[in-house]
Amino acid sequence: MKEYILNLLEKNKRIDNRKLDEFRKIEIQKDFIQRAEGSARVKFGSTDVIVGVKLEISEPFPDTPDSGILRTDAEFTPIASEDFFPGPPNENAIELARIVDRGIRESETIDLEKLCLEKGEKVWGVCIDIRIINHDGNLIDASALAALIALTTTKIPKIKDDEIIREEYSGKLPLKHKPITISIGKIGGKFIIDPCLQEENLLDSILTVSVREDGKICAMQKRKNSLKVEEINKIIDLAVNKSKELRKLI
């Protein structure tokens, strides 16, 4: 199978009849979970991810007493793959959550300063939970897109007598920026985007890049083996270019 995939790539073809720089069919469903303050379900081909955003009243960090808090978690639920099992998140789930978190945090997606309820005492905590429904590769890009879209749908609940009134809202979650995260894989001398699982397993290397709407890069992560400087340069240009395609979907 490996040789078959590599032979196809040699001819600039892929096992699912895509071009090297072509995404799979992307499907987006907003407000999928009414009980969450924000949510989205995103499919890249048969990769299927649900992100829910919950808002909680939290204590601020001592060094940022008037800023809201962001936390991102991911669960590789065993429904999604024969290789996922019940138990605490493994290193892949934690890496995924941290990469998505970094893209959102470093791009300053959320205007955290507007989420202060009582300086030094109470702020909004924004909890992003990523749930994998079916794993067919490129979980990071799908999760990052789902997280961003979920944030755009997120509403802030009303508060009465220090208690959250769920499903009644005072406004939308204030957002400043919109980062797009793209992973570009290197395989047999070719660069591909949105690798499916069979391709992902054969990658020589992969670099994940988060790009803001103003063109600034806000997070990167090399995830396998090594890359040469000129390869990194090429990947960055390709990621910036391809991010425009995904940005249209938000």
Partner 1 sequence: MTEKEKIREIVLPGEIIGNTKTEKSGHGTFIRDQNIISKFLGIPKKNKDYISVIPLSGVYTPKRHDKIIGIVISVEKSGWIVNTNSPWKGFLSLSEGVRDFIDIRKVSLKRFFDVGDIIYTEIVDVRNGDIQLSMKSPSSRKLEDGVLVKITPSKVPRVIGKEGSMINSIKEKTKTIIRVGQNGVIWLTGQDIEKAIDAIKMIDEKSHIFGLTDKINIFLSDLNDENR
Partner 2 sequence: MMKTDEKLIINGKRLDGRKPMDIREIEMKVGVIPNANGSAYVRFGKTTAFAAVYGPRELIPKHLQEPDKAILRCYYNMAPFSVSDRKRPGPDRRAVEISKVTKLAIEPALFLEEFPETTIDVYIDIIQADGSTRVTGINAASLALADAGIPMRDLIVALSGGKIDDTLIIDLCGKEDNYSEADIPIAFLPNTKEITLLQMDGRITPQEVKDTIRNILKAGEQVYKKQKEALKNRYK
Residues that bind partner 2 (CB under 8 A): 33-36, 39, 46, 48, 50, 52-54, 56, 73, 75, 77-82, 86, 88-89, 127, 129, 131, 133-136, 164, 166
State whether residue 195 is helix, strand or coil. Answer: coil
Q: Choose from partner 1, partner 2, none: what does 21 bind? Cβ within 5-8 Å by kind.
A: none
Q: Which does 14 bind (CB under 5 to 8 A by kind): partner 1, partner 2, none?
A: none
Cβ closest to partner 1, residue 4 vs residue 61: 4
Q: Which two tokens stand for residue 214?
A: 């103003």
* 159 phi and psi angles, rounded to 5 deg: -125, 135
Under the criterion CB under 8 A, does residue 61 sit at the interface with partner 1?
Answer: no
CB of 50 within 8 A of CB of 142? Answer: no
SS3 of residue 192 by DSSP: strand
Nearest in space to 127 (alpha carbons), one of 57, 28, 76, 48: 57
* Partner from partner 1, partner 2, none contacting 221, C-beta within 5 to 8 A by type: none
Q: Name which of 27 and 237 has its Cβ closer to partner 2.
A: 27
Of 2-31, binders to partner 1 (CB under 8 A) are 3-4
User: If contact means CB under 5 to 8 A according to the sort of partner, which of partner 1, partner 2, none does residue 192 touch?
Assistant: none
For every residue of 70-89, DSSP letters joined together read EEEEEE--GGG-TT--SSS-
Give the nearest distance from C-beta 196 to partner 1 in angstroms. Answer: 15
Distance of CA 108 to the CA centre of its chain: 14
| Size of residue set near partner 1 by CB under 8 A | 3
Q: Where are the beta strands (DSSP E) in the chain?
A: 26-30, 38-44, 47-58, 69-75, 116-118, 122-134, 155-160, 163-172, 180-187, 190-193, 205-211, 217-224
Q: Distance between CA 223 and CA 4 in Å, rounded?
A: 24
| Closest to 101 in 3D by CA, of 136, 143, 48, 62 | 143
State both tokens at 30: 């907003």
Choose the stretch contacting partner 1; rule: CB under 8 A; options: 1-9, 63-71, 98-106, 123-131: 1-9
Shortest Å distance, C-beta 3 to partner 1: 7
Residue 3 contact, options partner 1, partner 2, none, Cβ 5-8 Å cut-off depending on partner type = partner 1
Closest to partner 1 by CB, 79 vs 250, is 79
Which is nearer to partner 2, 134 or 247 (by Cβ)?
Answer: 134
The CB-of-97 to partner 2 minimum distance in angstroms stands at 10
Which residues in this chain contact partner 1 in the complex, by CB under 8 A?
Answer: 1, 3-4
